[in-house]
Structure 1
Amino acid sequence: MSFEARSARTSTTENDVESVAVVVVTYNRADLLARLLDGLAAQTRAPDAVVVVDNLSTDHTADVLAARTDLPLQVITTESNLGGAGGFHLGMRAAYDGGWDRVWLVDDDVVPAPGCLAALMAVDEDCLTSVREDLSGALVEKAAVDFDLRNPLAIKPKRSAVDTVWADRASMPAMVEVQNVAFEGFMARRSVVTEIGFPDPTFFIFYDDAEYAVRARRAGRRIWAVRDAVLVRQLDFNQQHDLSGWKGFYMYRNLFVVHLRHGENALVRLKPWLITLAVVALSPLRGGRAEARNVIRAMASARGMRRLADEARPPR
């Protein structure tokens, strides 16, 4: 059956079971992607569609995808590398246009345990996220339990995360409310996308997921981390990036955009300017001229992104 034919069916079966499309974004990580697809094929609750956005990979990603006749794949190959943000934007649009009831966003460097999707689908909530662990089984879920856009003295809005509050999965409650997410296991119902729109592709990388979570919460949705939805991260969790390099530009800029769009008071919305001044002033001691240039460029770019990009707005 074609993807279009599957998409045309009603959103529920006679048993009133919701449908779900998985959205995967990948770029030059064919071997990791293969492990993820193995994990999706092994789910006790099979996905109704798997939308893979290939950001113009130059490795053997195309061969990996061509071999997967065991999954209901829809492959979208971009004309350029759109980054994670652009890829998830494109993939969520495809899933929404396909008519699926829920969309599950997963990166190419995770593998779901066999019962992961079933655990999520069993929860009657609009926004959910799976809970990540590393290859040793240690809890590495970074979703924020407290994401503070009220306190102007909080340099970083993430004040605490799942893995800083709970030592391991066993000590967690079955459901934990979180305030931001990573697009490594986030699930949303179709009604959420209808109301708040799509991930903002202009972010390219970093904070597109956090910004989307803020929009969802502002629309009255609560976001729940489901303890028994196990997602295994294949790579070490490294959130330390060179702030003087190209990734540093996006980290600064997109953090600033989140504050400018969603800061809950004028002082919080002023924080990006203060951070810029502080980084420039301290550049002789840390970061040097390259980081100073990055943060100045980031602030200038963020000013033009105060409003949500048109293509990320709710579908009309």
Structure 2
Amino acid sequence: MTTPSHSSSASGRPGPPAERVAVVVVTYNRAELLVGMLRGLAAQAHRPDAIVVVDNASTDATADVLAGAGADLPGLAPLTVVRSEENLGGAGGFHLGLRTAHALGHDRFWLMDDDVVPAPDCLAVMMAVDEDCLAAVREDSSGRLCEKAALRFDLTRPWAVKPKTAMVETTYGTRAAMPERVEVENVAFEGFMVRRRVVDRIGLPDPSYFIFYDDVDYALRAREAGAHIWALRDAVLVRQLDFDQQHDLAGWKGFYMYRNLFVVHLRYGENALVRAKPWLVTLGVVLLSPLRGGRAEARNVIRAMRAARGMRARPSSSVD
């Protein structure tokens, strides 16, 4: 395990140990975006102590980008590349990446997708805040606030069709209108920072989600363990791509959207009626399928409900 260094106080006496932070990045077939993201990390005023990149079996130029990153970006922190022989999805990638970074002994872990670029002072802003769970606040390439973290993620009312009932973007409209800190109830693994002691208590992200809602699940577990999650107005993270949340619910992504939303309700619904909501959603989609996605969406939601039942058990809190 790595031993933290100590800062010095004005009197010359050793101050509290400086925390070591590892960045955990998951990438898959987006070499050009990965280059921009790594440049952003190399430009950080507060240099991270390590970067762990999980390459999810990419078939493009990702391996070449990672192999040359140290020479091309002299300011880049030491890089550990973990190549998976299969695409584990974002959920499996963050499980593997956080497990790897945790084993290296760091104190904080900053989780990133490959399509975001942190402002040069982003990490410095976050490391200056003494909280266990933090989130950078996202904007698009034009500077417009696009942070979709939930101010309220409601798993108490069965009639709330969507559990996310308020989010940063729609509540504040602009970054300038935000308070310095905003408590949020879920996160994206795009700029989420978590301390080691939280990971030790709740374990790793659940790889069985594959994509979607793995970050929501992790935030729910962290909050159940007593952590607060603070979105920091001045920690700026820029998305290189526009959001695309309107997935084809009759396609493969739609299956994961439905299944994983159902899993969240079955695991964390705070009463029997909320935990029954996935069944009601399934029935509603099937009944309305002639007017919406047709038989393909109906088949998807039925498959999703069956699969979700097998994922009702909460993940282990082990980090091994």
Fold match by TM threshold 0.5: yes
Q: 1:175 aligns with which of 175, 181, 184?
A: 181
> Would you say 1:280 and 2:286 are equivalent positions?
yes
Is the Cα–Cα contact under 8 Å of residues 2 and 104 in structure 2 kept in the other structure? no
The DSSP-based 3-state class of the residue aligned with 2:6 is coil
**How many angstroms apart in 1 are the aligned matches of 2:244 and 2:120?**
26
Match of 1:17 in 2: 18
Asked if the contact 2:2/2:106 (under 8 Å) is kept, the reply is no
Structure 2: which 5+ runs fail to align? 9-16
Distance 1:128 1:314 in 2: 22
Q: One-letter code of the match for 1:189?
A: R
Aligned length: 307
Letter paired with 1:9: T
Contact 1:174-1:226 at 8 Å conserved across structures: yes
Q: In structure 1, what is the Cα distance between the partners aligned to 2:249 and 2:58?
A: 26
Question: Does the aligned pair in 2 maintain the 1:51–1:94 contact within 8 Å?
Answer: yes
Q: How many percent of aligned residue pairs carry the same amino acid? A: 69
Q: Tell me the residue number matched to 1:314.
A: 318
How far apart, CA to CA, are the structure 2 residues paired with 1:210 and 1:246?
Answer: 20
1:41 and 1:232 mapped to 2: Cα distance?
Answer: 15
Match of residue 270 from structure 1: 276
Instruction: Tell me, yes or no, if structure 1 residue 149 matches structure 2 residue 142.
Output: no
Does structure 2 conserve the Cα–Cα contact (< 8 Å) formed by 1:111 and 1:231?
A: yes
Output the CA distance in 1 between the equivalents of 2:314 and 2:229: 21
1:3-14 alignment runs, 5 A limit? 8-14=1-7
Alignment correspondent of 1:247: 253
Structure 2 counterpart of 1:315, one-letter code: V
- Return the alpha-carbon distance in structure 2 between the equivalents of residues 83 and 303 of structure 1: 21
The structural deviation recorded for 1:237 is 1.2
CA contact (8 A) 2:151 2:168 kept: yes
- The C-alpha deviation readout for 1:1-25, integer Å capped at 9, x for no partner, is xxxxxxx431343552100000000
**Given the alignment, which residue of 243, 260, 264 partners 1:258?**
264
Which structure 1 residue ranges, 5 or more long, are not aligned? 1-7
Q: 1:11–1:99: 8 Å Cα contact kept in structure 2? A: no
Secondary structure in structure 2 of the residue aligned to 1:75: strand
2:132 is aligned to: 126
CA-CA distance at 1:68 after TM superposition:
1.2
Separation in 2, partners of 1:181, 1:203: 15
Letter in 2 for 1:150: T
Partners of 1:64 and 1:314 in 2: CA distance: 33
In structure 2, what is the equivalent of residue 57 of structure 1?
Answer: 58
Per the TM alignment, residue 307 of structure 1 is displaced from its structure 2 partner at its CA by 0.8
Q: Alpha-carbon deviations, 1:268-291, whole Å to 9, x = none?
A: 000000000000011111110000
With 13-22 and 195-204 compared, the bigger mean Cα shift is at: 13-22
For residue 172 of structure 2, what is the aligned residue in structure 1? 166
Matched position secondary structure for 2:179: coil
Match of 1:88 among 94, 106, 129: 94
2:54/2:81 contact within 8 Å kept = yes
Paired with 2:268 and 2:226, the residues of 1 have a C-alpha distance of 14
Q: Which residue of 1 aligns with 2:33?
A: 32
Q: Does the residue aligned with 1:80 lie in a helix, a strand or coil?
A: coil
* Alignment match of 1:191 (pick from 169, 190, 197): 197
* One-letter amino acid matched to 2:319: P
Q: Kindly report the root-mean-square deviation, in angstroms, between the aligned alpha carbons of the 2 structures.
A: 0.9
Q: TM-score, normalised by structure 1?
A: 0.96
What is aligned with 2:238?
A: 232
Residue 139, structure 1, aligned to residue 139, structure 2:
no
Post-superposition offset of 1:123: 0.5
Cα distance in 2 for partners of 1:274, 1:185 equals 34
Provide the C-alpha distance between the structure 1 equivalents of 2:219 and 2:174, rounded to a whole number of angstroms. 24
User: Which amino acid in the other structure matches residue 293 of structure 1?
Assistant: R
Distance 1:53 1:180 in 2: 23
CA–CA separation in structure 2 for the residues paired with 1:303 and 1:278 = 18
Deviation at 1:194, TM superposition (A): 0.3
User: For the Cα contact (< 8 Å) 1:202–1:309, is it kept in 2?
Assistant: no
Residue 5 of structure 1: aligned partner:
none
